[in-house]
Chain A
Amino acid sequence: MSHEAFRALLSEFRDEALPAARRQEVAAHVADCASCRAELRDWDRLANAFLRRPIEPAAGETERFVRAVMARLPEPEPARVPFWETLSAAWLVPAFGAACAALLLSFAPSGPRYASAEPLFVADGQDVVIAPAARPASSGLDETLGLGDDAQ
């Protein structure tokens, strides 16, 4: 490898990011090359001078920071709960009662009893006279009692 090829690997060499075999090759070159050693030394000086970690925040500073951030957070979104988990006994019981009531009503007779085709009166052997004005128009009562038009 040429000097320039080794030089191109110095950055990875410094970061210990080369495979072991390649690292040994570069290390051997650096041991013999003043220019590459100078470059590595310069990077160390620059990093140590200008890329130092700032002073760590004190514990009190962190707590103040945490409070400041928490105060700026938006209102929490309500948690996403599946529909079936929203069913609770509080309204499930009356809902169940209402469903049962509706079921019972669906089996009940749908109309008033006098609308039935069965006779409303049973003759007891005596003549029954119904004035024409009082007769229902089409109640079927005349036929039931044998009071057709001929009987009048």
Chain B
Amino acid sequence: MIADEQTTDAELIELVLAGRQEAYSALVRRHHPRVMSLCVSMLGDRALAEDAAQDVFLKAYRRLRDFRGDAAFSTWLYRVASNRCLDLLRSAARRKEDSWESFVEREGDGVRRLLAESASERPLMDEDADLVRRVLGRLPEDYRLILTLREVEGLDYRELMDALDCSLDSVKAKLRRAREKFREILRHIEPSRDV
């Protein structure tokens, strides 16, 4: 056994860089849930997310010598994963976006159901993932990314700066704009409200 629970990420990285490739399996095992969670939240499709997550770990392996340890390895992985997800979202064939009217007509019931269940603590089920993907798809990719990193993955502002490679002011401004944009959906789903 090359590593146990007490072996730190830095120690594992040192082993990998010294030629002990098998030590990388411990890093993958340890960080797989986080990377997979981000990829599923961003891409909305579990199979696509798994391919993306594999790409993330391959890229991280090739660039392991670039990891300087300024931030946590998990945050550095989030940066690699964020870039991969953004690449995939941007290179995906862009469909013409529906008008809000047709979106509400087609998805309104599902969106209202999820909003009604919003008080529950249960994790997002796979059968809802496609609907959520379509809802989040109405946001610009970078808004979607920062909201996912903050709300789903729970990164604090310092970690967001490292993961997104931007300043603190930029993190604050982008989060505020992303939330305001996200709130627009309620204006269309619940038009009687004054939001």
Contact = CB atoms under 8 A, between A and B. Distances in A.
A1 interface: no
Interface stretch (B53-61, B67-75, B76-84, B93-101): B53-61
Q: How large is the interface on A (under 10, 10 to 19, 20 to 34, 35 or more residues)?
A: 35 or more
A15 B28 CA distance: 30
Contacts of B63: none
A139 interface: no
A72 B179 contact: no
A14 to B, nearest CB: 8
B188 interface: no
- Taking residues whose C-beta sits less than 8 angstroms from the other chain, chain B's interface range is 35 or more
B24 A70 contact: yes
A51 B19 contact: no
A10 to B, nearest CB: 8
Contact of A52 (B53, B62, B152, B195): B152
A76 B79 CA distance: 24
A66 B28 contact: yes
A17 B124 CA distance: 27
B148 A51 contact: yes
Interface in B7-34: 18-19, 21-22, 24-25, 28-29, 32-33
11 contacts: A38-B195, A46-B185, A51-B152, A53-B124, A56-B33, A56-B37, A62-B29, A66-B29, A69-B54, A70-B22, A70-B28
Interface of A: 8, 10-12, 15, 17, 38-39, 42-57, 62-63, 65-66, 68-70, 72-74, 76-79
Interface of B: 18-19, 21-22, 24-25, 28-29, 32-33, 36-37, 40-41, 50, 53-54, 57-58, 61-62, 111, 114-115, 117-120, 122-126, 129, 132, 135-136, 147-148, 150-152, 156-157, 172, 175-176, 179, 182-183, 185-186, 195
